[in-house]
Structure 1
Amino acid sequence: MKHTIKKASLEDLEEAADLFNQYRVFYRQESNYEKGRSFLKERLLNNESDIFLAFTDGKAVGFVQLYKLFHYIKLQKQWLLSDLFVHPDYRGKGISVSLIDTSKQWCIETDACGLMLETEKTNLVGNNLYPRCGFEVDELHNYYHWWK
């Protein structure tokens, strides 16, 4: 099954929002298409993220969302691979790898030093996928978060 990847624009908002909602549900969040759609629309309108969509037979079946960060050691821009999702019916067909390869190419095109990501320890698929795609696990750091 052949697929293509394209950079999303506002024209792709409905398809991106549908996949984004499914992604959030995958991570045990309540389904909320409208709120997710508004969130993505704001990101696109304000140039706060770059989203790439994977299409098979004209249907959006996966996406990756990247946020711009800055690396304090390399003194360069880098990208946070924040969200990666492929519809369950299309998994195992190389779409995730294509989305990651597209993200790596985006780093080259935007003169960024690389990609970073984090995923849950329980995400077995992701924890097997990322090393296969050339990512290295950073075992020197603990990642923390604070929520208000």
Structure 2
Amino acid sequence: MDYKIKKASLENLEETAELFNLYRIFYRQESDLEKGKEFLKERFSNSESDIFLVVVDDKAVGFVQLYKLFHYTKLQKQWLLSDLFVHPDHRGKGLSVALINRSKQWCEETGACGLMLETEKTNDIGNSLYPRCGFEYDGLHNYYHWWL
């Protein structure tokens, strides 16, 4: 399959927001294209995340969004692979793996020590994909959330 991966910018807001909205729906959130667009616009405008789009036939069909973190034991920058999505019509073609590989390359390009991610226990696709891509399950830590 022919595809290309490009770093997204504010110029790609519309196509990125459409995919981001579908991603949120996948995680059982209400569709809200405009609010998602504003969220992404802030990320782009404030350089708060890096997004890569996978493009097939001049149409963005998937994305990965990375946020910068810092690792306390390695004393280096690392990236949080926060969001990964490929449109259902394009799944099973290796595009998720391509986006993950691009994220790994981004770590090398930016001098980061690696990637971390979390996914729902019920995400069977992700939970089989990530180990195949070299991620190791971290059974040593508990992750907690505090919401305002």
**Which bin holds the TM-score, normalised by the shorter protein?**
over 0.9
**Does 2:138 align with 1:138?**
yes
Match of 1:109 in 2: 109
Identity of aligned residues (%): 78
Match of 1:26 in 2: 26
Aligned residues: 148
Match of 2:88 in 1: 88
CA shift, 1:2, in A, is 1.2
Between the aligned partners of 1:4 and 1:125, the Cα distance in structure 2 is: 23
Paired AA for residue 144 in structure 2:
Y
Between the aligned partners of 2:77 and 2:87, the Cα distance in structure 1 is: 30
Match of 2:64 in 1: 64
Q: SS where residue 35 of structure 2 aligns?
A: helix
TM-score, normalising length: structure 2: 0.99
Deviations 1:33-82 (A, max 9, x none): 00000000000000000000000000000000000000000000000000
Q: SS where residue 18 of structure 1 aligns?
A: helix
Which runs of structure 2 are paired with 1:2-13 in the superposition (5 Å)? 2-13=2-13
TM-score, normalising length: structure 1: 0.99
Deviations 1:69-103 (A, max 9, x none): 00000000000000000000000000000000000
Gaps of 5+ in 2: none
Between the aligned partners of 1:129 and 1:75, the Cα distance in structure 2 is: 28
Gaps of 5+ in 1: none
After TM superposition, where is structure 1 displaced by more than 2 Å over at least 4 residues in a row?
Answer: none
